[in-house]
Amino acid sequence: MRSPTRRRRPSLAVLAALGVSVLALLAGCASGPAGPPTLTWYINPDDGGQAEIAKRCTDAAGGRYSIAISTLPRDSGDQRQELVRRLAANDSSIDIMSLDPPYIPEFAEAGFLAPVPPGVGARVSDGVVPSAIEGASWQGQLVTVPFWANTQLLWYRKSQVAAMGLDLSKPVTWDQIIDAAVARGTKVEAQGKRAESLMVWTNALVRSGGGQIITNPQETDPKLVTLGLTDPPALEAARIMSKLANSPAAPAAFSTADEDSNSEALQSGTSAFMVNWPFVWSKVTKAASEGTAPANTPDDYGWTLYPQTRPDLPSAPPYGGINLGVGHASLHPDLAYAATECITSAQNTAYYFESNGNPSARYASYSDPAVLAKYPMAPVILQSLTLAKPRPQTAYYAEVSGGLQRTFHPPAAIVPGPTNQAAQDLILGVLRKDRLL
């Protein structure tokens, strides 16, 4: 097993995971058969696109290696937990990992990622949107390979918005869509559930207001981390969340609303507005083709850029997606990085976009005729990705996200000012080991 080339202070959550890593250690000690190595790619669940790309890259490798997939749990936090346990135990079976961007600094800081070889970084960054490169980096260095890049749009039902007097060809603010929905007697869908999606929403509101949840995200000493949760942009974010949650425009079950329930509400016509990821387009077109939604429903869908927090600042839409990391204990890191170059090629990322609905991190995919035919909103997705900002790039992301979810939930209980202070006090207390989540 290889030793990590860079091992620094692991996060508090990593230290906790070390205590339950015995089983993973045993699993990681298995040796592979003779012959060309089989690289194991730990993937997040999808509609089969990563399995197809693994097959394509195995064929393209010409016998140098093959790629087998192993599917991680569906929930992002559960994916992180499983990988942390295995990586902390130097599990050599982890050759390639599909990683949620917020956890990349934590993995890099803990020494869980094999370094990106010279030359690879330049090749895998060429033609990639800036938000994806930022999300794949830590401390200014590329530590993972950008794969696909997600972002949220403002989706709406054209038939309902037509009578509201809103010009959605221009940027709109949260206040505008909430007020319009209240006046029309309809709803605005956002993610009010106590989950990572609540962190995504909060971060987008704060970044769109010109602030940051962590003001020094690259600080590696948890006692020196500083937060911007009581700064004016975060106070404005809390005001907007409280306004929506306590207005007639909030869905009945807003405190448990997630991306899937939001999508169903817009599809049914219960709501006129929704912020969500582009998967909703595949979902509604499939429903229309299968007869579970009226055939003309997709024609009534409109889309535009994420709402602004302030009318004088462009929005900073959420950035998501998946990047590829190579495990520090992999027995074949060079081959694993060669495989990531194949996986993230322009051809394969365009295929993944067109077949699975996960937007590519590469500019070239957005001029692909097959992509444009199936996803007419692709140009707006690309525009959104150029504005998107990632969640805090910090080695202590799990603590920050967990603290914010605890204090900002339920959204109807948010009181701008006191809630911000409570979140700041809890997160700083956890980072200084004075409090527990």
Q: What is the pLDDT of residues 7-36, one digit of tens each?
A: 444 445 444 444 444 444 444 444 455 689
Phi, psi torsion values for 8, nearest 5 degrees: -125, -165
Domains of the chain: 38-150+320-390 (3.40.190.10), 151-317+392-432 (3.40.190.10)
Q: What is the pLDDT of residue 252?
A: 94
Looking at residue 231, what DSSP letter applies?
S
pLDDT at 434 over 60: yes
Tokens of 150: 């997600």
pLDDT at 279 over 90: yes
Q: What is the pLDDT of residue 75?
A: 85
Give burial (CB, 10 Å; 0-12/13-18/19+) of 330: buried
pLDDT at 49 over 50: yes
**Which of 6-10, 212-216, 242-246 has the weakest average pLDDT?**
6-10
pLDDT at 3 over 60: no
pLDDT at 120 over 90: yes
Please report which confidence band the pLDDT of residue 199 belongs to, taking 50, 70 and 90 as the band edges.
Answer: very high
CA 114 to chain centroid: 22
Please report which confidence band the pLDDT of residue 74 belongs to, taking 50, 70 and 90 as the band edges.
Answer: confident
β-pair partners for 68: 40
Cα(348)–Cα(227) distance, integer angstroms: 39
- The helix/strand/coil state of 141 is strand
pLDDT at 1 over 50: no
Q: Locate all alpha helices (DSSP H) within 301-417, ordered by sequence.
A: 333-343, 346-356, 369-374, 378-387, 397-407
pLDDT at 287 over 60: yes
Pairing mode, strands 188-189 and 273-276? parallel
Please report which confidence band the pLDDT of residue 367 belongs to, taking 50, 70 and 90 as the band edges.
Answer: very high
Tokens 């996960």 belong to: 358
Looking at residues 406-425, what average pLDDT do you find?
A: 98
Looking at residues 129-153, what average pLDDT do you find?
A: 95
Looking at residues 79-95, what average pLDDT do you find?
A: 96
The mean predicted confidence, pLDDT, of the chain is: 92
Q: What is the pLDDT of residue 33?
A: 57
CA separation, residue 160 to residues 61, 235, 269, 270, 344 (Å)? 52, 31, 9, 10, 40
Please report which confidence band the pLDDT of residue 416 belongs to, taking 50, 70 and 90 as the band edges.
Answer: very high
Contacting residues for 139 by C-beta, under 8 A, at least 6 apart: 108, 218
Q: Which helix (H) or strand (E) holds 149?
A: strand 145-151
Cα(202)–Cα(404) distance, integer angstroms: 9
